[in-house]
Structure 1
């Protein structure tokens, strides 16, 4: 079995949603559930050894995909979220991550050494990520507090506007060049992340924002859960020029399991063959090299192929890649080592 360190998942969002309904998030993770994609038992079964776990805040006005007769769709960007309610929710989610750590349900990791130690002990190695920074104000004071709580990765935006920049819409077919780039506060955020050693995730940024980060950051470029636009032309996927920039920075792009970002037709259909995942991996490896590609499942945040199902089926992708000709050393890089290299270069530990 090849252990997997995942570039992106939304298990904390699911646990927080259930906690709001009166359920115990620690018990749900430890004992397991049939809902969603990740819990301790299913992760153990599928060799999902850890990953970046997102503090994600949903938009109440997010629309639905309503494809036309050609399968085309575009969901308008939802309205920006207010800071103080976002901060309160983000603190609740971060508290769940701390409770899971304190209970021994997972290990909240702040360094690559922490991750490797947790993996060796068979504990889920969780790294705190923030997907969209509505909880952080322009003075960046909250960034320091979240860093102290274990935050080691953030995306300045989700697919909506923040005070830091602009996200791409969910749209097919569409390229990611959809608006303005980083704001002045966004440039300050990038520089502060460089100083603290926080990964800057470009996954939901529009193209101008991507290039603003590329010009400003001194760390490897990261798109935690994005696929190849040349194969699936959704706005969220990466152009070849963006992939070249990630390669040139010795960064990483993580394969997203979301079927709408894998299928050539962009449809939300769980009966998506494993060949589509392999096709995107092959394309990204050919364009960026074996050292710059990883896995960014988007578990608990998207419709994923039925052939995987949930975290317990993670090895289905590994086996498909093995059958496609990838050797064990290459699989180790794709499954975890590339992520750990980029994290270590960014965190300095």
Structure 2
């Protein structure tokens, strides 16, 4: 591989970082201070062609975020999850982040565009404009009557995960623990099933990352759309309940769905540690496994930028080209690299947003 390959990313938490840095948001988005994993300059440098930008409402604790590196340094671990959050608590921050995504476009109209269709994504990329698709990680901001879903849809929401790791009125997520199985807790509630049906009706992708196994199976039974996990890895290689079993991978493949490979070290390391000191081999093993069980048309990238501990070899968005080079040296030809980097996600958006 000699030329840089533009890539589409299945999940990042940049909006959360932008919200917490709101007093310096121009610097966070338009500057190049090297903080966090993303900013406009580094995205353009790396070949970041587009991605799903997550609205994620963090736990309302009033304290600093947990030190995951310490908490996940010595498995086994089982991190306590925060309680349910009401839509009244979640909506203000969710709306702020939705607004910030549109502000990003207004601040850099020649470089970034909020896209609502696969056609708009392709057109933006063809014009060297970064395509941003609004995603929601955990549907706490959607109330029990589901009316807010229409509002967020009109703002551009096109991908939604009913749960993060904490429970919602729609279902249960998986804990941040190791080792563990995704077969924990009950599945979707009746409101959760209604949410999936309405997402299908509107053309919103239902994200299975963070779903427990029962919830995953409920979505598989109800949904008429391809099954998608935006940022998940292989449970056979790292026994985190956040990772997907081979049975789940087979179900995703059967529907023409998609899995985005997550760069979070604690979902890559065989022993579940958060340690970021690793070579390329553990990452490549997961990609190999995903391709083996999904086929080469249904695997892409789902970084979790600005929401995880990355391998040192990646570091931030500018390290993705090096990862693609490592895959090339592993034996992946240019056609397969194009699929993994971008084309599979674009095809998935066409199937999922219709």
Show the counterpart of 1:72: 76
Q: CA deviation at 1:68?
A: 9.1
Structure 1 residue 28: Cα displacement:
2.3
Contact 1:26 1:99 in 2 (8 A): no
Correspondence for 1:43: 43
Contact 2:233 2:268 in 1 (8 A): yes
Pairs within 5 Å for 1:86-101: 86-101=90-105
- Aligned-pair Cα RMSD in Å: 1.5
The answer on whether the counterparts of 1:197 and 1:347 sit within 8 Å (CA) in structure 2 is yes
Question: What is the alpha-carbon distance in structure 2 between the residues aligned to residue 77 and residue 211 of structure 1?
Answer: 23
Contact preservation (8 Å) 1:172, 1:233: yes
Matches within 5 A, 1:1-349: 1-19=4-22, 22-23=23-24, 25-60=25-60, 71-103=75-107, 104=109, 106-348=112-354
Structure 1: 5+ residue stretches without partners = none
User: 1:79 and 1:102 mapped to 2: Cα distance?
Assistant: 36
Q: CA deviation at 1:27?
A: 4.1
Q: CA deviation at 1:220?
A: 0.5
Unaligned runs of 5+ in 2: none
1:96-130 per-residue CA deviation (whole Å, 9 max, x = no partner) reads 11111122152101111211222122222110000
TM value normalised by structure 2: 0.94
| Alpha-carbon distance in 2 for matches of 1:245, 1:69 | 32
Q: Is the 8 A contact 1:108 1:150 kept in 2?
A: yes
Taking structure 1 as the reference length, the TM-score comes to: 0.96
Q: Contact conserved, 2:72 with 2:272, CA < 8 A, in 1? A: no
C-alpha distance in 1 between matches for 2:146 and 2:193:
12
Q: How big is each residue's C-alpha offset from its partner over 1:6-27, in whole Å with a ceiling of 9 and x where there is no partner?
A: 00000111001111xx22x244
Rounded to whole Å, the distance in 1 between the matches of 2:149 and 2:38 is 27
Distance between the aligned counterparts of 1:120 and 1:140, measured in 2? 35
On the 8 A contact 2:265/2:274 being kept in 1, the answer is: yes
Q: Give yes or no for contact 2:71–2:79 (8 Å, CA) kept in 1.
A: no
CA-to-aligned-CA distance 1:269-319 (integer Å, 9 cap, x gap): 111211111110001101111011110000000000110110111111111
CA distance in 2, matches of 1:179, 1:195: 27
Cα distance in 2 for residues equivalent to 1:187 and 1:244: 22
Give the stretch that moved more between structures: 106-115 or 153-162.
Answer: 106-115
